[in-house]
A and B are shown apart, each in its own frame.
Chain A
Amino acid sequence: MGATFETIVFGVLAMFIIVMSVLTVTTGRIVRSATYLLFVLLGTAGLYFLLGYTFLGSVQIMVYAGGVVVLYVFSILLTSGAGDKAQKARRSRLFAGLVTSVAGAALVLFITMTHHFVPATGNEIPVETGINNIGRMMIGSGKYEYILPFEAVSIFLLACIVGALLIARKR
Chain B
Amino acid sequence: MSHRAAGLVGTLTLGAVAAMSYLTAFLYFTAPRLADGTFATLIPVNFEWLPFTSTLSIDMGVLLDPISVMMLIVISTVSLMVHIYSFGYMKGERGFQRYYSFLSLFSMSMLGLVLATNIFQMYVFWELVGVSSYLLIGFFYTRPAAIAASKKAFIVTRFADLGFLIGILVYSYYGGTFSFHPDSSMLMAGGAAMMPLALGLMFIGGAGKSAMFPLHIWLPDAMEGPTPVSALIHAATMVVAGVYLVARMFPLFIVYAPGVLHIVAYVGAFTAFFAASIACVQSDIKRVLAFSTISQIGFMMVALGVCTSLDPNLGGLGYMASMFHLFTHAMFKSLLFLCAGCIIEQVHSNEMSAMGGLRKYMPVTHIAFLIACLAISGIPPFSGFFSKDEILTASFNFSPIMGWVMAIIAGMTAFYMFRIYFGIFWGTENKELHEKLHPHENPLTMTIPLVILAGITCVAGFIPFGQFISSNGQAYHIDIELSTALTSIIIGVVSIALATFMYVRPTQPVADSLARKFKELYTAAYHRFYVDEVYQFITHRIIFGCISTPIAWIDRHIIDGLLNFSAWSAYATSDSIRSLQSGRVQQYAFVFLLGALALILLLIL
* A and B held together in a complex: yes
Do B593 and A100 touch (CB < 8 A)? yes
* Docked complex Cα distance between A85 and B27 (Å): 116
Q: How far is the CB of A92 from chain B (nearest CB, A)?
A: 12
Q: How far is the CB of B601 from chain A (nearest CB, A)?
A: 7
Do B597 and A107 touch (CB < 8 A)? yes
Do B604 and A100 touch (CB < 8 A)? no
Do A103 and B597 touch (CB < 8 A)? yes
Which residues on the B side are within 8 Å of A111 (C-beta)?
600, 604
Q: How far is the CB of A103 from chain B (nearest CB, A)?
A: 7
Task: Return the chain B residue nearest A108 by Cβ.
Answer: B600
Q: How far is the CB of A104 from chain B (nearest CB, A)?
A: 5
Asked if A52 is at the interface (CB within 8 A of a chain B CB), the reply is: no
Task: Return the chain A residue nearest B584 by Cβ.
Answer: A93
Task: Return the chain B residue nearest A115 by Cβ.
Answer: B604
Interface residues of A in 77-114 (CB under 8 A from B): 96-97, 100, 103-104, 107-108, 111
Do A107 and B600 touch (CB < 8 A)? yes
Task: Return the chain B residue nearest A114 by Cβ.
Answer: B604
Write out, one digit per residue, whether chain B residues 575-605 have a CB within 8 A of any chain A CB (1) or not (0). Answer: 0000000000000001001100100110010
Task: Return the chain B residue nearest A97 by Cβ.
Answer: B590
Choose among B597, B600, B601 the residue that contacts A100 (Cβ–Cβ < 8 A): B597
* Docked complex Cα distance between A111 and B590 (Å): 21
* Docked complex Cα distance between A97 and B590 (Å): 8
Task: Give chain A's interface secondary structure class.
Answer: helix
Choose among B590, B597, B600, B604 the residue that contacts A96 (Cβ–Cβ < 8 A): B590
Q: How far is the CB of A86 from chain B (nearest CB, A)?
A: 14
* Docked complex Cα distance between A68 and B584 (Å): 26
Q: How many residues of B contact A (CB 8 A)?
A: 7
* Docked complex Cα distance between A104 and B597 (Å): 7
Which residues on the A side are within 8 Å of B594 (C-beta)?
100
Which residues on the A side are within 8 Å of B604 (C-beta)?
111
* Docked complex Cα distance between A100 and B589 (Å): 12
How many A-B contacts are there with CB distance less than 8 Å?
A: 15
Q: How far is the CB of B242 from chain A (nearest CB, A)?
A: 84
* Docked complex Cα distance between A139 and B597 (Å): 39
Which residues on the B side are within 8 Å of A96 (C-beta)?
590
Q: How far is the CB of A97 from chain B (nearest CB, A)?
A: 7
Q: Sort chain A's interface into a size bin.
A: under 10
Task: Return the chain A residue nearest B601 by Cβ.
Answer: A107
Q: How far is the CB of B579 from chain A (nearest CB, A)?
A: 14
* Docked complex Cα distance between A111 and B601 (Å): 10
Q: How far is the CB of A112 from chain B (nearest CB, A)?
A: 11
Q: How far is the CB of A72 from chain B (nearest CB, A)?
A: 19
Q: How far is the CB of A106 from chain B (nearest CB, A)?
A: 10
Q: How far is the CB of B544 from chain A (nearest CB, A)?
A: 60
Which residues on the A side are within 8 Å of B593 (C-beta)?
100, 104
Q: How far is the CB of A60 from chain B (nearest CB, A)?
A: 26
Which residues on the B side are within 8 Å of A100 (C-beta)?
590, 593-594, 597
Q: How far is the CB of A87 from chain B (nearest CB, A)?
A: 14
Q: How far is the CB of B605 from chain A (nearest CB, A)?
A: 11
* Docked complex Cα distance between A97 and B584 (Å): 15
* Docked complex Cα distance between A14 and B147 (Å): 98
Which residues on the B side are within 8 Å of A104 (C-beta)?
593, 597
* Docked complex Cα distance between A108 and B597 (Å): 9
Q: How far is the CB of B503 from chain A (nearest CB, A)?
A: 101
* Docked complex Cα distance between A104 and B600 (Å): 10
Task: Return the chain A residue nearest B604 by Cβ.
Answer: A111
* Docked complex Cα distance between A120 and B590 (Å): 37
Q: How far is the CB of A54 from chain B (nearest CB, A)?
A: 34
* Docked complex Cα distance between A104 and B601 (Å): 10
* Docked complex Cα distance between A97 and B594 (Å): 11
Which residues on the A side are within 8 Å of B590 (C-beta)?
96-97, 100
Which residues on the B side are within 8 Å of A107 (C-beta)?
597, 600-601
Which residues on the A side are within 8 Å of B597 (C-beta)?
100, 103-104, 107
* Docked complex Cα distance between A100 and B596 (Å): 11
Which residues on the A side are within 8 Å of B601 (C-beta)?
107
* Docked complex Cα distance between A108 and B293 (Å): 102
* Docked complex Cα distance between A111 and B604 (Å): 8
Q: How far is the CB of A48 from chain B (nearest CB, A)?
A: 27
Q: How far is the CB of B589 from chain A (nearest CB, A)?
A: 10
Task: Return the chain B residue nearest A104 by Cβ.
Answer: B597
* Docked complex Cα distance between A111 and B603 (Å): 11
* Docked complex Cα distance between A69 and B600 (Å): 33
Q: How far is the CB of B365 from chain A (nearest CB, A)?
A: 99
* Docked complex Cα distance between A107 and B601 (Å): 8
Task: Return the chain A residue nearest B587 by Cβ.
Answer: A93
Q: How far is the CB of B566 from chain A (nearest CB, A)?
A: 34
* Docked complex Cα distance between A103 and B590 (Å): 13
Which residues on the A side are within 8 Å of B600 (C-beta)?
107-108, 111
Write out, one digit per residue, whether chain B residues 550-587 have a CB within 8 A of any chain A CB (1) or not (0). Answer: 00000000000000000000000000000000000000
* Docked complex Cα distance between A111 and B600 (Å): 10
Task: Return the chain A residue nearest B600 by Cβ.
Answer: A107
* Docked complex Cα distance between A107 and B597 (Å): 8
* Docked complex Cα distance between A104 and B592 (Å): 13
Q: How far is the CB of A107 from chain B (nearest CB, A)?
A: 6
* Docked complex Cα distance between A100 and B598 (Å): 11
* Docked complex Cα distance between A108 and B601 (Å): 10
* Docked complex Cα distance between A104 and B590 (Å): 12
Which residues on the B side are within 8 Å of A97 (C-beta)?
590
Q: How far is the CB of B329 from chain A (nearest CB, A)?
A: 95
Interface residues of B in 51-87 (CB under 8 A from A): none
Which residues on the B side are within 8 Å of A108 (C-beta)?
600
Q: How far is the CB of B311 from chain A (nearest CB, A)?
A: 104
Q: How far is the CB of B160 from chain A (nearest CB, A)?
A: 75
* Docked complex Cα distance between A107 and B590 (Å): 16
Which residues on the B side are within 8 Å of A103 (C-beta)?
597
* Docked complex Cα distance between A104 and B604 (Å): 14
* Docked complex Cα distance between A103 and B600 (Å): 12
Q: How far is the CB of B587 from chain A (nearest CB, A)?
A: 9
* Docked complex Cα distance between A41 and B220 (Å): 106
Q: List 15 A-B contacts (CB under 8 A).
A: A96-B590, A97-B590, A100-B590, A100-B593, A100-B594, A100-B597, A103-B597, A104-B593, A104-B597, A107-B597, A107-B600, A107-B601, A108-B600, A111-B600, A111-B604
Q: Give the B-binding residues of A (Cβ under 8 A).
A: 96-97, 100, 103-104, 107-108, 111
Q: Give the A-binding residues of B (Cβ under 8 A).
A: 590, 593-594, 597, 600-601, 604
List the 10 shortest-distance A-B pairs measured between CB atoms, nearest first: A104-B597, A111-B604, A100-B593, A107-B600, A107-B597, A100-B594, A104-B593, A107-B601, A100-B590, A103-B597
A-B contact sample (9 more), CB < 8 A, given A100-B590, A100-B593, A104-B597:
A96-B590, A97-B590, A100-B594, A100-B597, A104-B593, A107-B600, A108-B600, A111-B600, A111-B604
